[in-house]
Amino acid sequence: MLSVNRISKSFAQGQVAALQDVSLSLKQGEIRAICGENGAGKSTLVKILMGIQRPDTGTIHVDGRPAEFLSPRDAQDAGFAQVAQELSIVPSLSVLDNIWLGSNRVPVFHRRREFRDKAQAALSRIGAGHIELDALAGDLSIGQCQMIEIARLLVGDARLLILDEPTATLSDTEIANIFAAIRALKAEGRSVIYITHRLGEVFSICDSVTVLRNGRHIVTMPVGDCDREHLIELMLGRSFEDMYRHQPNETFHEAALSVANLSVPGLVHDLSMTLPRGRLVCIAGQVGSGAHHVLRALAGLSIATGEVSVGGTPMRLNSAAVSRAHNIHFISEDRAAEGIFARMRVLDNVVATRLPLLGWFGLISRSRLRNAAKSLLAQVGVDKTRLDSEIGQLSGGNQQKVLFGRAMGQAPGILLMNEPTRGVDVGARADIYQMMRSFCDQGFGLVMTSTDLEEIVGVADIVITLYRGKFVRRYEGAAITMKDILADITHPPDQASPPAMAISGVTAS
């Protein structure tokens, strides 16, 4: 159905080779995973297939005939459609208008009822029929917005669907619905290119896998011919025995953060917890559990009530400025909307929260700015030659590293992270986990949320489980198991909260 022949693409006047002689083919009704570290060339390949970029050399054939995609409209006319890693939802438009946004199937004069019916059918097909078509997209959760993106592909009747991290923000039920829809589309003879950093999904949904590394095609093989460990080694080009290995930091014994009876109206109910310095606490819960809103409340981004103290000092809620004044740093799960300034330089992004420290009386020293930015990039492993590049040109993993860099060197503090490895490849994940441990060693207290249970078990020192906004249980160390966490977050709690326990000299609920 699709054949890509010796595609190459370079940037920066040929100095950066994103793709080098990449060839692959895809059959009708085949689900193909494309795996590789950030910077391996996955995004560039997808942009070429979608007509966003043109290759320097090489050809594309569709159904055996040469095809040239000079624009996204050409790709859409060929039946290609994409759900990008960063959502393309317009918050001020309705769900219905977002589903049909950009479609070449909507004439200037059309019957709106017909398009409502098709949109409703598409949502129902992926188990999201409860989403109101007239609701504003800006009022929906990021998981619901992801479902709208996928419904957009279905109404377009695409024959090749390119899904880039489609399940990163979805609950288990929503993921099951997406997988069911993908299998139904496969049965109809549609082809799928599936890009994910959750390698378990490769083996759950895909027929075959292509590995890219440093812009080159390494191998394409049936999924049944490899296992997770072998796939990781192919992606990294080296042995990768244990990406989660760590020792809890036991240097500090005081509380970085204490929370009592935190409530977010309709979302979180009377949550109490203590975060020790030098430790990483993960709040685990499905999409809609309220876990993300706990962190947003502590960052001053959600209206909340309760008592919070930072390093023993009481802190007023409901103000982002107050939270920042207490050295609380926040990394959003929506990197594009709430993390980076996409059209600004890497330099401007990494120093964005520390400008008062780099000047006098409102005047910024350009040399101090650049020196500080270079130092921060070195600490998070981002090439300093990208200092003047737009951050939107960086891979998702490098963008995320820049966001971590903003907090570097400001210990002791608190780092709040919602889905910190969303859209980040396995190699960059390992780097980010090491950065988390570095923050712990500096005396930071870290709180994170994640819908990836393997990640939770691998990185957390302490796990707090939530179900429908209520505390269920608390685990530490060897007591943290995937089985127990899964049981807590998928079923109503059957017992009252346990009594307070002493952890490393700190009493925690």
Residues of the chain with pLDDT under 70: 12, 15, 38, 107, 109-110, 169, 238-243, 245, 492-509
**Would you state the pLDDT for residue 509?**
31
Structural domains of the chain, count: 3
Same structural domain for residues 227 and 272? no
Type of residue at 346: V
36-81 pLDDT, tens digit each: 876 788 889 999 999 999 999 999 999 999 999 999 999 988 999 9
**Would you state the pLDDT for residue 496?**
41
Is 247 contained in some domain?
no
Type of residue at 145: C
Is 241 contained in some domain?
no
How many CB atoms sit inside 10 A of residue 334's CB? 15
CA distance 417 to 282: 9
Is 245 contained in some domain?
no
Task: Copy the structure tokens of residue 174.
Answer: 């929503």
Same structural domain for residues 94 and 143? yes
What is the model's pTM? Answer: 0.63
Residue at which a domain ends, from 205, 236, 267? 236
CATH code (residue 502): 3.40.50.300
Same structural domain for residues 221 and 264? no
What does the chain come to in residues? 509
Same structural domain for residues 155 and 290? no
CA distance 379 to 402: 10
Same structural domain for residues 193 and 56? yes
Tell me, rounded to whole angstroms, the distance of Cα 205 from its chain centroid.
20
Same structural domain for residues 111 and 187? yes
Task: Copy the structure tokens of residue 384.
Answer: 């300093």
**Would you state the pLDDT for residue 378?**
93
**Would you state the pLDDT for residue 374?**
94
**Would you state the pLDDT for residue 112?**
78
Residue at which a domain ends, from 355, 389, 407? 407
Same structural domain for residues 67 and 142? yes
CA distance 110 to 105: 10
370-392 pLDDT, tens digit each: 999 999 999 999 998 999 999 98
Domain that holds residue 398: 340-407
**Would you state the pLDDT for residue 498?**
40
Is 7 contained in some domain?
yes
CB 460 within 8 A of CB 431: no
Same structural domain for residues 373 and 302? no
Residue at which a domain ends, from 376, 407, 438? 407
Is 244 contained in some domain?
no
Same structural domain for residues 440 and 381? no
Same structural domain for residues 269 and 418? yes
Same structural domain for residues 444 and 499? yes
* Max Cα-Cα span within the chain: 70
